[in-house]
Amino acid sequence: MQEVLNIIQKRQTARILFDSERPVAKEDLRQILEAGRWAPTAHNMQNFEIIVVDDKKVLDAIGSIKSTISETFIRENYEQLSFSEGELHKKKVGILGTLFPPAWSTPGYKPDKDTDSGRPVQTSPVMLIVVYDPDRRAPASEGDFLGIVSLGCVMENMWLMANSLGISFHVVSAIGTDPVEKEVKRILNIPDRLKIPFAFRLGYPVSTPAKYPRVRRDIEDFTYHNQFGKRDLD
């Protein structure tokens, strides 16, 4: 049991360049997909498809797509930032401002068309593109909240398996935004009715990822006993 908890606690994302000359072994890839296969999903609908992309030409095509940073992202991202490790440990939530360009840590900053647009989508030796059908949902699940939770379970299962195998993992959320999603659909021949919520980069970093503090609220901060607001759980 402790081994499982250790894997969960050590899970992290790798936002750096992956070694293009070091592919992910097919056996490891199948284990990661097997972990995703056994993720809990609402009503056991398993409402997801996964496209494995390892063809360099296809990856280059995806990597040529330019993504943009919206004003909404910069504004809402700023609200989650801490500007020192001390502040981050005190808040116990959010992320360090040093993980982003300095301009993004400036109140009221608006995206610059020259520096904040045209960022290429990050790729890796193998990418997993997750696809789902928004028209299918669990019974009486208006808005498909349970379906979204299910996709999160698929992500977590594969992420933990990848990390346990020593394979780095990076969630590429930009791939699910317009117009990036439209271009990826065209490249991969994905039907219009389907959505791409996110993709995963798998591989091995070309350098040691920088260490950054990881914080979590204490159990006592988010746990109540029998009634909301009653914090007497020993």
**Digit-coded pLDDT (tens) for 131-155:** 999 999 889 888 889 999 999 999 9
* Confidence at residue 199, expressed as pLDDT on a 0 to 100 scale: 97
Whole-model pTM?
A: 0.92
Residue (of 198, 167, 170, 203) closest to 20 by Cα position: 203
* pLDDT at position 64 over 80: yes
Which residue intervals of the chain bear CATH 3.40.109.10?
2-68+122-213
DSSP state of 125: S
% the chain with pLDDT above 70: 99
Residue type, 80: Q
Just give the CATH number of 2-68+122-213.
3.40.109.10
| Total residues found in the chain within this entry | 234
DSSP state of 144: G
* Confidence at residue 107, expressed as pLDDT on a 0 to 100 scale: 86
Q: Return the minimum-mean-pLDDT range out of 13-17, 84-88, 157-161.
A: 13-17
Mean pLDDT of 67-75: 89
Hey, what long-range contacts does 9-12 have (CB within 8 A, 24 or more apart)? 10/163, 11/159, 11/160, 11/163, 12/163, 12/209, 12/214
